[in-house]
Chain A
Amino acid sequence: MSARDNILSRIRAANAAQVAGKDTQSSAARLAEHPRGPLPTMAKDPLQQFTDCSIAAASTMDEVGGRQDVPGAVARYLTDNALPMQGVCWPEFADLDWSGAGLEMQARSANGDDKVGVTGSYCALAETGTLVLLSGEEQHATTSLLPETHIAVVSRQRIVACMEDVWDLLRTEVGTLPRQVNFVSGPSRTADIEMTLVYGAHGPFRVHIILTDE
C-alpha cells in the first residue's frame, strides 16, 4: 500500500469510529454549492469602505477621471514624495503618455533595481481595502513586489464588497483560477522586532492607489 492509501484508509477508519456528532452534509453538495457563511454587516458603501480600509492599511489614495489622467497622477505622487521618476508598468499601460508627464516607464517585468512599479488590479475588495492581482502573461507579479513603490490603478466600477464576491467574479469571468491570486492590503510590513511596526519588510515600502472611472 502507498502512503496515500494508508493515510486515506486511516482517515476513514478514524471517522467511522466517531459516533457522536456525525456529519450529515455531503462534501459533493458543499463543493457544488459553495455556500457562503455569515457575513458581517458593512455600514458604508463599497467605495467609501474601500477608501477607508485602504488608508487604514497604510495605502495612500488619489482619484482621477479616465486612464489618460493616470500618468499625471503618478508624476504628482512621485514628485510630492521625492521619489524616482523612472519605473516599470504592466503592458496594459504601455500606451499612456508617460513621457508627457515627465516619467520614464518601461512596460516589462521588474527586476531588483526598479524603484517604481505601476500595475492594474483585477478588482478591489472593499471589506479590507485590498487589491486583487492575478498572475498572467502580462500581469507581472514582480511589478507589485520588488520595487520600493507600488502604484495600483483601480477602476471604481471594479470594487466589490466582500471576498466572496471576488470568487464569484472569478468564477464568472475567468473560470479556472490563474496560477496565483494575490490579495494585497497596503505596504509590506513586519513587527517581528519588539512588536514594533516597520514598513518595507521585503516588499514595497508604500502602496499608492489611483482610482479611475474605467
Chain B
Amino acid sequence: MEITSAQFKKSASNKLADVKVQAALANAKGRFVVARAKAIQELDNFEEIRQAAADVRDHCLSNLDQYLEEWERKATAAGTVVHWVESAEEMNRLVLEIARNNSVRKVIKSKSMLGEETGMNEYLQRGGIDVRETDLGEYIIQEANEHPSHIIAPATHKSKDDIADLFALKHKRPRLDDITELTHEAREILRPHFLDADMGITGANFLVAETGSTMIVTNEGNGRMTTTMPRVHVAISSIEKCIPTMEDLSLIMRLLPRSATGQSISNYLSVTTGPRREGDSDGPEQFHVILVDIGRTRVLGSDLRAALRCIRCGACMNHCPVYQNIGGHAYGWVYPGPIGSVLTPAYVGLEKAMDLPNAATLCNQCGVVCPVKIPLPDLMRKLREKQTELKLSPVAQRAGIGAWAWLASRPALYGLATRIAARIGKFAGGKDSMLHRLPFAGREWTRGRDLPAPRGRTFREIYAARTRK
C-alpha cells in the first residue's frame, strides 16, 4: 500500500475539518470503549489473563524459530503446502502464481491486514484475477476504491448515506435507506461469488504450532465460506502470529474479541488443519500457507520488539484521544492509532513516518487497554529519541531540546534561568495570570487555549523555603 504518513499534519487537519468523518468517529468511539469495558468484567481475573497472554506472546517470540519449524512439520504432515517469503513483492507474486497454476479466475477474500500491507488485491487484479472482498466493511471499501480506516471496522469512516449512494451506483438497484436492507443487499450480491469462486484467500489470526493449524475469526461467516467453498485456499500470515498450543489460543481468545468489539467470543472461530481429507464432503483440494517476514525479523532484533506481541484487536486506537479525533486514514498506512505509530515507522522507515510517534499525548490509555501489555507510549518515546539521534527531527526542535538538556544538567544555572523566567512569566501574565500568546513554536499551542502564567516563584524556591522552616 502507498504510504502517505509523511503528510500526517495536513491529513489530520483535513480530517478534523471533515464533518462526516467527525460524525462517524463520534458515533464509534463511545460504543467501542463501553463495549470493551463491559466485556472484560465477565472475567473475574482479567488482569491475570492479560499478564499470562503477554507472557505467552513473549515466549512465542523468544522461541519463534522452533515454533515455526514445529508448525511447518505438523502442517506439512496434514497436507498443507507451506511457503516462506521475505518481501511483499515475493508474496504477491507467489499468490498470483498459485492462482495461475490452478486456472483461477475468481478469488473470494476474507480480510487480511497483511494483504493491505503488500497491496495484494491490486496486484492480483493487475494480473487479471477477479478479487472480491467479502467482509462487509472491506467490500464497501473495495467498491469505493478506498483503504480501510480501522483494522477491525474498515468502513467506520463512512456513513449509512455514503454506503446507500455507493450501493445504488454499484449494484444498479434502487437506493436503500436502511442499514439492515443495505447489509442484506450486500449478502445477496456476494452469495453467488462464494458459490462459484475458484480460490479463497484469508489471513490468519494465529498459527498454532502444536497442530500445524491456522485460525481465523469472523462475525459474518465469510471466513468459513472462504475456507470451505473454493477448490483452493491460500492463507497469508506474517511469522509472528505463531503461538504454541491450543491452550494458548484459548487464553488469547478470551481477550481478543472482548478487547476488539466487546464480544465474549467472535461469532465464528475456524481452526483449519490441511486441505480436504479423503472422504470429506467439503473443503478445498489444496491448502497453501504463505509465511511472510516483511520486516518482522528486523523488528524482532530491535528495541521495538514488544510491538510484535500485537494480536490486532484495535483497542489501542479505539481508546486513543488522537485517533478518536482524526480517524485512521490520517495515519497514512495500514495500521492506525498507537500501534500504527509504532509499526508504520518500524516497517516502512522512520523517515517516511516522522510525525506518527509524535501524534500522541503519551496519556497511556493504549498501554492500559492493550490485551498483551505492549508498552506503546514507551515505544513511541523510543522512536522520538531515535528521530533526534538520527537527526531526522527538525533542526529547531533538536536545538531547543539540546538547549534544554544543556541547561537542565546544570542545576545552579537552571535555577537562575527558571527564577528569571518565572518572574517574566508573572509579569507577562498580567491581571488574569494567563498567557494568551506564547512566542515561537508555542504560538501554535496558545492559538486555541491560554497557558496559566507562573506566579513569580519556582517550585525549587518554594520547596527550599518550606524545608528551611
Contact = CB atoms under 8 A, between A and B. Distances in A.
Interface in B242-288: 244-251, 253-254, 261, 264-277, 279-283
Nearest to A177: B273
Contact of A193 (B179, B187, B190, B194): B179
Contacts of A64: none
Interface string A183-214: 11111111111111010111110000000000
Contacts of A39: 45
A38 B220 contact: no
B434 to A, nearest CB: 40
21 contacts: A7-B293, A8-B68, A15-B300, A18-B62, A27-B67, A31-B245, A37-B52, A37-B56, A57-B265, A141-B224, A145-B221, A145-B224, A167-B250, A177-B211, A177-B213, A177-B271, A179-B280, A185-B266, A190-B136, A201-B187, A203-B224
Interface in A17-66: 17-18, 21-23, 25-28, 30-31, 34-41, 53, 56-57
Nearest to A181: B271
A11 B268 contact: no
B444 interface: no
Contacts of A200: 183-184, 187
Q: Which of B69, B159, B220 has the most CB of A within 10 A?
A: B220
Interface in B56-113: 56, 58-59, 61-70, 78, 84-86, 90
Given A182-B270, A188-B267, A135 B280 contact: yes
A201 B268 contact: no
Interface in B336-361: none
B216 to A, nearest CB: 11
B67 to A, nearest CB: 6
B227 interface: yes
Contacts of A104: none
Contacts of A4: 84
8 closest A-B pairs by beta carbon, nearest first, are: A203-B221, A14-B301, A201-B220, A23-B62, A192-B137, A37-B251, A10-B297, A163-B250
A82 interface: no
B219 A40 contact: no
Contacts of A190: 136-137, 183, 219-220
B246 A179 contact: no
A38 B49 contact: yes
B269 A53 contact: no
B213 A195 contact: no
B27 A137 contact: no
Q: Which of B43, B52, B209, B245 has the most CB of A within 10 A?
A: B245
Interface of B: 24, 27-28, 31, 42-46, 48-49, 52-53, 56, 58-59, 61-70, 78, 84-86, 90, 134-137, 140, 153-156, 158-160, 163, 179-180, 182-184, 187, 190-192, 194-195, 209-211, 213, 219-222, 224-225, 227-229, 239, 244-251, 253-254, 261, 264-277, 279-283, 291, 293, 297-298, 300-301, 305
A145 B215 CA distance: 18
Given A145-B225, A194-B27, A201-B219, A164 B45 contact: no
Contacts of A35: 247
Contacts of B67: 27
B27 A195 contact: yes
A112 interface: yes
A149 to B, nearest CB: 14
A81 interface: no
B95 to A, nearest CB: 15
Contact of B31 (A17, A25, A40, A195): A195
B63 A23 contact: yes
A7 B272 CA distance: 24
A132 B253 CA distance: 15
A30 B220 contact: no
Contact of B301 (A13, A41, A111, A196): A13
A27 B221 CA distance: 34
B283 A141 contact: yes
A30 B28 contact: no
B264 A53 contact: yes
A21 B306 CA distance: 12
A40 B28 contact: no
A138 interface: yes
Given A11-B300, A18-B305, A194-B159, A201 B221 contact: yes
